[in-house]
Amino acid sequence: MLKKTLLAATALSLTATFAFADGHAKNPMVGGAEMLAEKNIIENAVNSPIHTTLVAAVQAAGLVDTLQGEGPFTVFAPTDDAFAALPAGTVDTVLLPENKELLTQILTCHVVAADAMSEAIGGMISDDGGMHVVPTLGGCMLEARMDGDMITLTDENGTVATVTVADVKQSNGVIHVIDAVMLPKS
């Protein structure tokens, strides 16, 4: 009996150890690419095949050094498909050097000066009666809500984005992948 108990305890201990190590070692995959928690937001974003437009925009706006900084930052990262859904010519226009200020504002409307994991965001939504206002570094006020078990964000123009991949941990914050581009109030 003692031998069976010891074997069972050892097996449980090993299972818990591997589950703990595996649970903390893995970050969600983004676009099929591994996102490493020890890398910063920029280092991981450049490896995401579904964020090439976002990376180009961050470079054009001169925000690379900022997003490689200490943080913490929460970045709601629109995919290439989200940028492609904007009216024709929008991306090309905002990437022009003369529109750098607007591009910077658009991008910083996706950044919060905090390390906000989805559980914390969900808690704030619940604590605030179903909607939590999220102030961004770009001055935009996003409304966070729950749609079932998914977090949604609504910008000041009524555009709704869904967090499609949550809690992508970075060395200087967290990325939540979203399916729409948040824009400043027009």
> What is the tens place of the pLDDT at every residue in 41-57?
999 999 999 999 999 99
Please indicate whether residue 3 or residue 26 has the higher confidence score (pLDDT): 26
What's the pLDDT score for residue 33? 87
Distance from C-alpha of 3 to C-alpha of 25, rounded to nearest angstrom: 33
The pLDDT value given to residue 59: 95
pTM: 0.85
What per-residue confidence (pLDDT) applies to 56? 95
Q: Which two tokens stand for residue 175?
A: 């990325």
Q: Are strands 73-78 and 173-178 parallel, antiparallel or unpaired?
A: parallel
List pLDDT tens digits, range 150-175.
Answer: 999 999 999 999 999 999 999 999 99
Q: How many CB atoms lie within 10 A of CB 168?
A: 23
Q: What angle do the packed helices 100-108 and 52-61 form, to 10 degrees?
A: 120
Cα 149 from Cα 137, distance rounded (Å): 26
Q: What is the mean pLDDT of the chain?
A: 87
Residue 165, burial from CB neighbour count under 10 angstroms (0-12, 13-18, 19+) = buried
Burial level of 107, CB count in 10 A (0-12/13-18/19+)? buried
- At 17 the pLDDT is 33
Q: Taking the domain 34-178, which CATH number applies? A: 2.30.180.10
Backbone phi, psi, residue 171, to 5°: -70, -20
Instruction: Answer whether residue 32 shows pLDDT above 70.
Output: yes
**Confidence band, pLDDT 50/70/90 cuts, at residue 22:** very low
Measuring CA to CA, which residue among 9, 21, 48 is closest to residue 32? 48
- The strand pairing partners of 154, in sequence order, are 143, 160
Looking only at the bridges linking them, the beta strands covering 33-34 and 29-30 are antiparallel
